[in-house]
Amino acid sequence: MRTRPTLSWSPSEDLPPATTDMEPVTDALSAGGVLVLSGAGISTESGIPDYRGEGGSLSRHTPMTYQDFVAGAQARRRYWARSHLGWRSFGRARPNAGHRAVAAFGRHGLLAGVITQNVDGLHQAAGSDDVVELHGNLARVVCLSCGAFSPRRELALRLEEANPGFDPVAAGINPDGDADLTDDQVGGFRVVPCAVCGGTLKPDVVFFGESVPPQRVEHCRELVRGAASLLVLGSSLTVMSGLRFVRQAAQAGKPVLIVNRDQTRGDRHAVTRVSLPLGTALSTVAHRLGIPVDRGGSEGPQPA
């Protein structure tokens, strides 16, 4: 049975109103020990759309599920054609002011860690260390048969060689790096096997319908246990992969602070939700704390 992604949620109770006051966030960061949990909303200013915000990709696009990917060659052909094209744009994304501010907080010893639900590698490109990639990273590829890992740039080269002239015009790029293509545009796209054993290649990301590795979840739980507070940045917390850490922090009596434009499934657990653009909001906090934020930052995970 195809596992459908959770498109939305409806609050069963009145949630506290949002604010534009970043003072509680500033105070929490000033005290230190803040664990950051980021979602797709922190990368929208880098040109990567989110899933569920205004104009989010789930309104037009259903991501590949793990069950579909492993079940049929046609589904894999469709996925890799769309992902190969999307990678050309996705891999060129650059860190924005939000990513750079988080990296600056880390450099100044204010963070207990960074957990990201994103697969874009932009926190690391901005300079954040020891980022836990809850859902993996599109810049890596894994073989489902032998378990070998390889860089995405190597696969991109092999796919270019196997599909000369493949350059359809996509309707858009999605948060998972998947370009919007029709079946006609996918056509006879050729998928390449693992260079080590000839097995099936998959991006090293957690698809919808696939579980986050238990050891990764436990590592995140350890980070929550060791943190003084939890700061959620740009996540609707609609799916349990992130919401469980919000619940854990709240149950332990640790303050949960959320910066997200729209209501989230974690609002009732939070001491505040700030509705502001993340880049501006976090840059303002850094300025208040006297922390310089780099204007640049390295490139994202580059395509070949």
DSSP 8-state class, residue 168: P
Average pLDDT over residues 209-231: 97
pTM comes to 0.89
* Least reliable range by pLDDT among 74-83, 88-97, 186-195: 88-97
Q: Is 155 annotated as a binding residue?
A: no
More confident: 179 or 254: 254
The answer to whether residue 303 scores a pLDDT higher than 50 is: no
Domain boundaries, the chain: 23-288
Residue 84: pLDDT above 70? yes
pLDDT at site 227: 98
Active-site positions read 135
Residue 236 has pLDDT above 50, yes or no: yes
Distance CA 169, CA 142 (A): 28
Does the annotation list 180 as a binding residue?
no
Q: Degrees (nearest 5) of the Cα angle 275, 280, 281? A: 50
Q: Could you identify the residue written with the tokens 């901005």?
A: 126
In angstroms, rounded to a whole number, what is the distance separating the alpha carbons of residues 89 and 220?
Answer: 30
CA separation (Å) from 205 to 36, 41, 61, 121, 135? 20, 18, 18, 12, 5
CA distances from 139 to 92, 142, 253, 269, 276 (A): 11, 10, 37, 34, 30
Q: Which of 90-99, 121-130, 164-173, 207-216 has the lowest mean pLDDT?
A: 164-173
**Across the chain, what does the average pLDDT equal?**
89
- Look up residue 169 and give its amino acid: V
Element (H, E) at 14: none
Question: 74 — phi, psi (to 5°)?
Answer: -65, -40
Q: Looking at residues 208-229, what average pLDDT do you find?
A: 96
CA–chain centroid gap for 110, Å, is 22
Q: Does residue 146 have a known ligand-binding role? A: yes
Q: Going by DSSP bridges, is the β-strand pair 34-38/111-116 parallel, antiparallel, or unpaired?
A: parallel
Give tens-digit pLDDT for 7-23. Answer: 555 666 678 789 999 99
Arithmetic mean of pLDDT, 59-75: 82
pLDDT of 124-157, one tens digit each? Answer: 999 999 999 999 999 999 999 999 999 999 999 9
Confidence of residue 90 (pLDDT cuts 50, 70, 90): confident
The token pair at 125 is 């490109």
Q: What fold is seen in the domain 23-288? A: Rossmann fold (3.40.50)
Q: Is 65 annotated as a binding residue?
A: no
Alpha-carbon distance of 177 to 43, in angstroms, equals: 12
Name residue 205's beta-bridge partners: 136
- Total residues belonging to the chain: 304
